A and B are shown apart, each in its own frame.
Chain A
Amino acid sequence: MLKQAIENLGNHTIQGVWRIGFASRFFLSMLLHSGTAFRRFGLTIREMYFTGVLSLIIILVSGLFVGMVLGLQGYETLQRYGSESALGTLVALSLVRELGPVLAGLLFASRAGSAITAEIGLMKATEQLSAMEMMAVDPIARVVAPRFWAGVISMPLLAALFSAMGVLGGYLVGVKLIGVDEGTFWSQMQGAVDFEQDILNGVIKSVVFGIAVTTIALFEGYDAPPTAEGVSGATTRTVVTSSLVVLALDFILTAFMFRGLN
Chain B
Amino acid sequence: MQNDILVEIEDAVFGYGARPVLKGINLTAKRGQVVAIMGSSGCGKTTLLRLIGGQIKAGQGTVRVAGESLGELDRAGLYRVRRKMGMLFQFGALFTDMSVFDNVAFQLREHTDLPENVIRDLVLMKLHAVGLRGAAHLMPAELSGGMARRVALARAIALEPSLVMYDEPFAGLDPISLGVTGNLIRRLTDTLGLTSLVVTHDVQESLKIVDYVYFVSEGVIVAEGTAAEIRASGLPYVHQFVHGESDGPVPFHYPAPPYVDDLRLGVRSA
Contact = CB atoms under 8 A, between A and B. Distances in A.
Given A128-B96, A130-B55, A136 B83 contact: yes
A127 B91 contact: yes
Contacts of B90: 127
Contacts of A122: 96
Given A134-B53, A137-B110, A126 B93 contact: yes
Contact of B96 (A126, A135, A137): A126
Interface string A103-138: 000000000000000000011001110110111111
Contacts, number: 44
B111 interface: yes
A133 B55 contact: yes
B82 A135 contact: yes
Interface residues of B, number: 21
* Chain A, interface residues (CB within 8 Å), range: 10 to 19
A134 B90 CA distance: 14
Query: Interface SS of chain A: helix, strand, loop or mixed?
Result: helix
Contacts of A135: 82, 106-107, 110
A127 B110 contact: no
A131 B89 contact: yes
Nearest to B83: A136
Contacts of A123: 96
B70 interface: no
A128 B95 CA distance: 6
B208 interface: no
Contact of A126 (B55, B91, B106, B111): B91
Interface string A128-171: 10110111111000100000000000000000000000000000
Given A133-B55, A134-B53, A128 B93 contact: yes
A128 B53 CA distance: 15
Contacts of B95: 128, 131
B21 interface: no
State the 5 A-B residue pairs at the shortest beta-carbon distance, nearest first.
Answer: A136-B79, A127-B93, A131-B93, A136-B82, A134-B87
6 contacts: A123-B96, A130-B89, A131-B93, A135-B110, A136-B82, A137-B110
Interface of B: 53, 55, 78-80, 82-83, 85-87, 89-91, 93-96, 106-107, 110-111
